[in-house]
Chains A and B, each alone.
Chain A
Amino acid sequence: MPLPDSRATNVVPLHRSGELPDATLVLEAREGQQWAREALFRRHVKRIMALAFRLMPEEDPEDLAHDVFVKALGSLDTLANPAAFGPWLSAVTVTLIKMKLRKKRWLRRIGMAKSEELDAESLMSRDAPEGVRIALGDLYKAAEKLGEEERIALLLQRIEGLELQQIAEQMHLSLATVKRRIARAEAALAEVASDA
C-alpha cells in the first residue's frame, strides 16, 4: 500500500491513515510524523483505556492511558516488530500497571498511602445483571487480596479472556509462572466466594 505523501504536504487527513496498517504507522511515527503518532493513538486508545480501567479501576483510566501512550510513543524504537504494535502496547500497559500497583503497595506498607477498599459496585454499569454484579464484585475483592502479578493474571484471564500463553507474553513471565499465579489467584477467589 503506498504511503500518503506526507513529506510533500506535511499534512495527511486522519481518515486516510485509517487505511494504513500499524507497521506502516509505526515506521512513519519513528520518522517523527505526528499524524502517524496520532493515528496509532486513536486506533488503540479505547482498548487501552478499557484494559487499564479493568486492571486498576481505582485509578483514573485517562491518567493510566496517558502514561502508557507517552511511554510507548516515546520508545517506538525499541519495538522489534512494528506489526505487533497492538500486543506490545498491551504489554506496556500491563507493565505500567504492575509498577503502579507495586508502588502503591509499598506506599501503604510505609504508611504513606491509605488502604481503601475498592468499591466494585460503583465501577460497573448501572444496568448490569445481578449475576454479573456478583461475579465482578468477587473478582475485585479477590484481586484486592492478591499481589500485583496474581491480580493482573487473574483479571487478564477472567475479564480480558486471554489464554495462559497470551498472559505469559503480556506479563513477560514463563508459562509455568503464570500457571502458579493463576492457581494462587483462584484460591483467593474461591475463598471470597465461600465467604459471601
Chain B
Amino acid sequence: MRDPKELQKWMTPDTSEPRVNRLWSRVRESGEKKAPMWRWAAASAIAASLAVAAFALWPRPLAVGSQLEASAEGTVGRFSDGSRVEVGRSSSVRLVSDTKGEVRVELERGSATFEVSKRPDRRFVVHADGVEVRVVGTRFTVTRDSQGVTVSVERGIVEVARAATTVRLGAGQRWAEAEVQAAAEAQPEPEPSLAEPEPELPSVAPAPPVPAPEPAAPPRPVRTQKGVHRAAPAARAPVTPPAAAAQTPATGGGSDLVERPGAPTAAQLFQEALAARREGRSAHAALTFDRFLRDFPYDSRAALAAFELGRLRMDQLSDVKGATQALEQALKLAPDGTFAEDALSRLVRAYDELGSKGACARYREQYLARFPNGPYARSVSARCAQ
C-alpha cells in the first residue's frame, strides 16, 4: 500500500487566497440568512399545504384542438410538456398539434404569455396571423391586435418568422409587426433586413411593456421584469437591442435603473438566488440569477452572479450553451475577478463539448497564458483536440 501522504500530495484542490476569500464571502452571506428551525418547520408546513392546493387546482393539459378562451379575467393553461400559457382578457389560444417533436399553438386573438419548458428535442411554436414564434425554453408574450403582432421576450431566446424573414429576440427585446411595416414603408430601398445580431444576454434593459389587446381599454397592467405597471404607448424601433437601450438609461419606461414599488431589491434577488442554490433548487436559482443580471447589470455582484449562473447551467441544468454566455459575461464584467481561472477553464470545457474548436482553443490559450501552473492546466491542455 502506498503512503497516503504521497498520494495526497498529488491530489490537492486549488486553495488560493482569492478562492478562499470568495468562499468566505459566500459562507458569511449564507450564514447571515440562516433562518431558525421553527421557521423552516413553518415554511415546510405552508409549502405542503400549497402543494396540496396546487395539485387540486392544477389545470389539466390542453387537448389537441381545444381552445383556451379568457373573457373578463385572464386564464392559465398547461401543455403536456409542462409549458404554461397565461391568456390575457378577451384573448384566445388553440392547441393545433402536440407531437413528440413539436407543440404548435395558434393565438387566435388578444395576448398570451408563454412559459416554455426547456426541451432541446422539442420545438414550441406559436402562430399568430402569419407570424411564427419558435422557441426552445423561455418566457415571452405574443399579442395580436388590429396593429399586427407584437412579441416581447422576458428570458431566453425566440425566433420570430414572418414571410421569408426571421428575427432572433433575446431577453428584454421586443418585435412589433406594425413598426416593421412602418420602417419598411419609410425606407423602401434597400429591402429592410430583419436579421439581428446574436443578442448579448442578459439584456441591460428590459423591453417596454406590451400594449394590451384591443378592444381592451385602458391598457391592462403588464407584468415586466420589474413588477406590474402600465403599458407605455411609446413607439419603438422594430427590435430594441440591449446595446441601443443602454444608451438611454434612467429615463423611465424600460430603464433598469428605475426602482419600482414592490420590485425586489438587488440584495433580495441575490440572496434568493443563493438560497435556492443552497437548497438544491437549481432551476429557480438560475432564473433568479438571470433576473438579477437583467435587472441590476451594474450591481457590484453582477460578475459573481453571472459566474454562478454559468456554473449552475453547466453543472446542474445541462445548458452548456447558456453557460458559455453567462461565463463570458462574468469575465467581461470582471476580467480579473477571483473566479476568472474557474470561468476560463469552464469555457474551454464547454466549447469543447459544444464542438466549437475555435472558441475552445482561444480560451485554452488565454487560460494557459494566465495560469500556466493552475490546477486546471492539465485538463485544459488536453481539450480542443481537432
Q: Do A and B come from one complex?
A: yes
Which residues of A does B touch, CB under 8 Å? 34, 37-38, 41-42, 45-46, 49-50, 52-54, 57, 60-62, 65-67, 69-70, 73-74, 119, 122-129, 131-133, 135-136, 139, 157-161
Cβ-defined partner of B20 (8 Å) among A46, A157, A159: A46
Give bound CA distance, A52 to B23, whole Å: 14
Stretch in B11-19, B92-100, B358-366 touching the partner? B11-19
| Cβ-defined contact, A50 with B379, below 8 A | no
Contact of A125 among B5, B10, B20, B315 (CB under 8 A): B10
Q: CB within 8 Å of A: which residues of B?
A: 1-13, 15, 19-20, 22-24, 26-28, 30-31, 34, 278, 311, 315, 377-379, 382
A70-B34, A74-B34, A135-B2 given; name 9 further pairs at CB < 8 Å.
A37-B28, A50-B8, A119-B379, A122-B378, A125-B12, A129-B10, A157-B4, A158-B7, A161-B8
Check A66 against B23 for contact (C-beta < 8 Å). yes
* Pair A161/B4 contact, Cβ less than 8 Å: yes
Q: Given A41-B24, A122-B379, answer yes or no on A49-B1 (Cβ-Cβ < 8 Å).
A: no
The answer to whether A160 and B4 have CB atoms under 8 Å apart is yes
Cβ–Cβ contact B27 & A70, under 8 A:
yes
30 contacts between A and B (CB under 8 A): A37-B28, A37-B31, A38-B24, A38-B28, A41-B24, A45-B15, A46-B15, A50-B12, A53-B13, A54-B11, A57-B11, A62-B19, A65-B23, A66-B27, A70-B27, A70-B30, A74-B31, A122-B378, A124-B378, A125-B10, A125-B11, A128-B10, A132-B6, A136-B11, A158-B1, A159-B4, A159-B8, A159-B11, A160-B4, A161-B8
Nearest-CB residue, chain B, relative to A140: B11
A49 to B11: give the CA distance in the assembly, Å. 11
Chain B contacts for A62, CB-based, 8 A: 19, 22-23
The 6 closest A-B pairs by CB, nearest first: A161-B4, A128-B10, A53-B13, A122-B379, A126-B378, A61-B13
Partner of B15, one of A49, A69, A124: A49
Are the C-beta atoms of B315 and A60 separated by less than 8 Å? Answer: yes
Given contacts A60-B315, A73-B31, A74-B31, contact A66 B26 (CB under 8 A): yes
Whether the pair A53, B20 counts as a contact (CB closer than 8 A) is: no
Cα(A63)–Cα(B260), bound, Å: 34
How far is it, in angstroms, between the C-alpha of A69 and the C-alpha of B382 when the chains are bound? 34
Report the minimal beta-carbon distance from B92 to chain A, rounded to whole angstroms. Answer: 37
Q: Report A-chain residues with C-beta under 8 Å of the C-beta of B28.
A: 34, 37-38
Question: Contacting A135 at CB < 8 Å: which of B7, B19, B23?
Answer: B7
Q: Chain B contacts of A139 at CB under 8 A?
A: 7
Distance between B212 CB and nearest chain A CB, rounded to angstroms:
41
Bound CA span A54–B5, Å: 12
> Contacting A132 at CB < 8 Å: which of B10, B15, B19, B379?
B10
Q: Which of A65, A122, A132, A161 contacts B382 (CB 8 A)?
A: A122
Asked if A50 and B34 sit within 8 Å, CB to CB, the answer is no
Given A70-B278, A125-B12: A131 and B20 interface contact (C-beta under 8 Å): no
Q: How far is the CB of B31 from chain A (nearest CB, A)?
A: 6
Residue numbers in B under 8 Å from A54 (CB-CB): 8, 11
* B12: min CB distance to chain A, Å: 6
Q: Which residues of A contact B8 (CB under 8 A)?
A: 50, 54, 159-161
Alpha-carbon gap, A135 to B378, bound state (A):
18
Q: State which of A50, A66, A70 has its C-beta within 8 Å of the C-beta of B13.
A: A50
Q: Which residues of B have CB within 8 Å of A158?
A: 1-2, 4, 7
A37 to B11, CA, bound (A): 28
Q: What residue of chain A has the Cβ atom nearest to residue B377's Cβ?
A: A126
**Candidates A42, A67, A127; contact of B278 at CB < 8 Å:** A67
Question: Are B7's CB and A132's CB within 8 A?
Answer: yes
What residues on B are CB-neighbors of A52 within 8 Å? 13
- B7 x A49 contact (CB < 8 A): no
B7 touches A159 (CB 8 A): yes
Residues in B whose Cβ lies below 8 Å from that of A41: 24, 27
